[in-house]
Copies of this chain bind each other. A is one copy, B any other.
């Protein structure tokens, strides 16, 4: 397969965009990426989305957006893997371009979630879990993550406040991201006082939903020589892995096997070790997921993930900067779009466009997108020179 590069990126702000339809939101990000790439046409469109049929009564989003964006007659398809839909669509576009099947691809991750009442959205999100063996028992998606977090605290002896740095770091970084949903600096004290959603997960452990879209244009690497004077961002690894869909079926519910498998494969493809990663956009849907992701990807020993936060290793100046644009926690989590926000944010880092949250000299960035409670995990590594 040939090498590929990311020629353009685009994103919308994450918020309650009640004045805009899903069409407009996805289009805004798609158009922005096409403009950033300097292209008027691409060969194919890949859309990542989880909830449009449930929330907006709209299926067939590939063609829905190829029509709206003006890619008439071109190939278009939707890819879904719950909250990992964005990265799954990115991977589909990537393989299509890398294989030579198409010469350019637009990938749009989009989610319009806030048009329904909270309980409807909670029910829709629960479709990521096992309908027969989890949801049928009355457990919600945050509830499943709470069970994992509680067990983790019990097993390894951490207190709730030990998870504070992940939330504090994400909120601090989001202050400098105009596309973030939350612009509010928080303290450890505030974290400790936050209301519980599903104990031990509080409001400040959980990422907020939102309406938003993020997009990227993928082309063969040889076509990108000094585009607009910007560093060329290449895709150096793409890997996907799965685990059981229900948490109860896992050999070890405190280990993200699919994060381990997909990151291991990605490191091999990129020919690097974890310490070679300059910036890591991880999937902090809940604080516990940040911890488990860091452990499975080789940044901490098992049971020691919280230590990275407490030692300030996850900040912009740290050993493994995470959530540099706010992460899911503060940029927001428009579920099917999140994987594409992560890709866009890593590109921004490698281009050096992140202002106060720029990681100095970032050359290699990793993005990891998680579907369900660790069931589907995709890891991508991008690089520049």
Contacts and interface: CB of A to CB of B under 8 A. Distances in A.
Counting chain B CB atoms within 10 Å of each CB, which of A59, A126, A240 scores highest? Answer: A59
Contacts of A60: 80-82, 127-128, 245, 371-372, 375-376
A261 B73 contact: yes
Contacts of A58: 127, 130-132
B371 A63 contact: yes
Interface residues on A, range: 35 or more
A32 to B, nearest CB: 21
A141 to B, nearest CB: 11
Contacts of A1: 99-101
| Stoichiometry (number of copies) | 2
B23 A64 contact: no
A92 B82 CA distance: 18
Nearest to A98: B99
Nearest to A64: B245
A295 to B, nearest CB: 17
Q: Which 7 A-B pairs have the closest CB atoms?
A: A99-B99, A60-B82, A59-B127, A75-B240, A58-B131, A57-B131, A63-B242
Given A62-B80, A92-B92, 14 more contacts: A44-B240, A53-B53, A53-B54, A57-B127, A57-B135, A62-B242, A63-B81, A63-B375, A76-B242, A77-B80, A77-B92, A78-B81, A79-B80, A80-B80
